[in-house]
Structure 1
């Protein structure tokens, strides 16, 4: 049995939100190492390319000494195995994510019964935050204070620049 407890938190992080960061903060306190796996999905057209998403996630997670950022494509369970981990962290918003995350957990368990999924419920103030919502706000609002309610301040300049070119 490994003494080092490594967990993996996967997502697109396009861009990373305060909700993501809250889950990262909580998970980093529970595990010795937390790997943030930024997924590449060829079927989606992300707002930020992979290197930009990595840079943003690395910037906002710098204060966490036990957090590392990596990129993956393919199945999340394969990435978890590659990281020598047996725990997958998932953040869930109670009204929107529960059914889909439960289905994914069951599929992942069939793909690799040795990987456990740990769900962290989103804090009440982040239950409505989504990438699509903040992209809408960024496209119509010039107020950075409004965006700061949804994304880390370090993300705002990059988000503003991408929205102008998008």
Structure 2
């Protein structure tokens, strides 16, 4: 069974995140979308909200599980028996950053492989930071977040 972890803060989950998870589905038997908790980072949305949004978005996809963790992603992978880390790339800047993290992870835990997937070109401008800025300025986020998240945020 091929099990992978797609980690992030998902503050909030975006259409870019959703796109990467959907692309990863044919490659893995189980994908754990895991919110990594960083006590040094102030999140805009509560852990409970973020977990629920991910569950709502992937409610019809039984191979997608949702979790949260503290500490190193590779340690979380070992704890759940995942052999792969999924990372999404929007462009070359993401590749530089993510390749460095992947190399460090490989040194720490050689049995866990990082898999890079490219975001659809139309979603390259989408990020949680952009979504939070749009919310702050009372702009619509409909084209940036999955429908389930947009509908929940409107209520």
Q: Deviations over 1:108-164 (max 9, x none)?
A: 001001000000011101111111111111222354xxx121001222255467xxx
User: Would you say how many aligned residue pairs link Structure 1 and Structure 2?
Assistant: 155
Alignment counterpart, residue 3 of structure 2, candidates 3, 6, 21:
6
Residues 1:134 and 2:143 aligned together: no
How far off its partner does 1:96 sit?
3.1
Distance 2:20 2:103 in 1: 21
Give yes or no for contact 1:6–1:32 (8 Å, CA) kept in 2.
yes
CA RMSD after TM alignment: 1.4
Bigger Rg, structure 1 or 2 = 1
TM-score (normalised: structure 2) = 0.94
Structure 1 partner of 2:56:
59
Q: 1:98 to 1:86 in 2, by over 3 A?
A: same
Distance 1:18 1:134 in 2: 10
- Poorly superposed stretches of 4+, deviation over 3 Å: 157-161
TM-score (normalised: structure 1) = 0.88
Q: Within 5 Å, which residues of 2 pair with 1:79-90?
A: 79-90=76-87
Structure 2's unaligned 5+ residue stretches are none
- Tell me whether 73-82 or 151-160 shows the greater mean CA deviation: 151-160
Residues 1:148 and 2:142 aligned together: yes
Structure 1's unaligned 5+ residue stretches are 162-166
